[in-house]
Amino acid sequence: MKKQPFSRRDFLKVAGVTLGASALTCSGLGYAATRTPEFETPELSYAKDNVMNNRILVTYATRAGSTVEVAAAIGESLNKRGFAVDVKPVNEKPKLANYQAVLMGSAVRMGSWLPEAVDFVKTNQQALNKMPVALFTVHLLNTGDDEASRNTRTAYLDIVRPLLNQAEEVYFAGKMDFARLSFLDKFIAGMVKAVEADQRDWDKIRNWAPAIFA
Ligand SMILES: Cc1cc2nc3c(=O)[nH]c(=O)nc-3n(C[C@H](O)[C@H](O)[C@H](O)COP(=O)(O)O)c2cc1C
């Protein structure tokens, strides 16, 4: 069996740490503890010109940056297949009006999509349900092909799935880079003995061909 860099049980063990973090937040030290080292969350455009047909939005939520590079690789590869693609962070609240389809992705923290990604789905639910949508998730646990892994990773989207009529889902193994973590996340990673690893499978990411483009 493929060894996980750290286990779900480990994360449960640090639930107490998270509670401690809440106390820390109340004490005013929380901002410093949860502040992530700065990195770019760029807006990228893979379009030869300003074509408005077949224009795709790839939007993403990240904490430590690995999902940015995944989103960019998806954008680049769709562009090679003939689509005009914009890649934008959900935090920029991209408008959906100019797009024919949306690919939306989020990193996973403590068993769920990031809150800003969930908020984006809630805010744009009506529009999203009128257009083709596919979802990509970037995570490190439960990457196996066994049923338990599959069930646990699909649960990462339990909060957004009921909001969408139908959206294809794909799961990509991500990256653990301590230099990109906040003090608190680094502390949690240390507690669960997480190891630094880049498990992103670029062929799988670039070859992802959502059925909505068939
Ligand atoms: C504090 C913390 C909690 C995490 N929780 C989970 C989790 O519950 N499940 C999982 O599969 N991966 C988990 N991960 C791994 C991240 O999802 C993975 O590192 C991902 O690539 C991060 O994406 P980002 O670099 O775009 O933020 C966690 C990582 C950290 C640092």
141-173 pLDDT per residue, tens:
999 999 999 999 999 999 999 999 989 999 999
pLDDT digits (tens, 9 = 90+) for 40-69: 888 888 876 556 677 999 999 999 999 999
| Ligand 1 geometric centre to CA of 49 (Å) | 36
Ligand 1 proximity of 142 Cβ (cutoff 6 Å): yes
- Does the beta carbon of 32 sit less than 6 angstroms from any atom of ligand 1? no
SS3 82: coil
Q: How far apart are CA 118 and CA 160, in angstroms?
A: 6
The mean per-residue pLDDT over the stretch 6-35 comes to 58
Ligand 1 centroid to Cα of residue 19, in Å, is 18
Domains and CATH numbers, the chain: 8-208 (3.40.50.360)
d(CA 122, CA 25): 26
Ligand 1 atom 17, closest CA: 139
Name which residue sits closest to atom 4 of ligand 1, judged by CA: 109
Output the pLDDT for position 49.
59
> What is the number of residues in the chain?
214
CB 137 within 8 A of CB 169: yes
At 28 the pLDDT is: 59
**Per-residue pLDDT at 3 exceeds 50:** no
Cα of 109 vs centre of ligand 1, distance in Å, is: 5
Q: Is 37 in the pocket of ligand 1 (CB under 6 A)?
A: no
Confidence of residue 214 (pLDDT cuts 50, 70, 90): confident
Model pLDDT, residue 2: 44
Answer whether 108's CB lies under 8 Å from 139's CB: yes
Work out the pLDDT band at 180, boundaries 50, 70, 90.
very high
Spatial CA neighbour of 47 closest among 60, 39, 58, 37: 58
Q: Which of 133, 131, 121 is nearest to 163 (CA)?
A: 121
Two tokens at 108? 């996973």
CA 197 to ligand 1 center in whole angstroms: 11
Give the mutation target among 139, 185, 205 for probing the ligand 1 site: most ligand atoms within 8 A of CB. Answer: 139
| Confidence check: pLDDT of 15 > 90 | no
> What distance in Å separates the CA atoms of residue 85 and residue 103, rounded to the nearest whole number?
10
Distance 63 CA to ligand 1 centre (A): 8
Mean pLDDT score of the chain, rounded to an integer?
Answer: 87
Indicate whether residue 67 lines ligand 1 (CB < 6 A).
Answer: yes
- Report the pLDDT value the prediction gives residue 102, as an integer from 0 to 100: 97
Of residues 95 and 211, the one with the higher pLDDT is 95
Q: Are strands 55-61 and 101-109 parallel, antiparallel or unpaired?
A: parallel
Distance 108 CA to ligand 1 centre (A): 5
pLDDT digit string (tens) for 61-105? 999 999 999 999 999 999 998 899 999 999 999 999 989 999 999
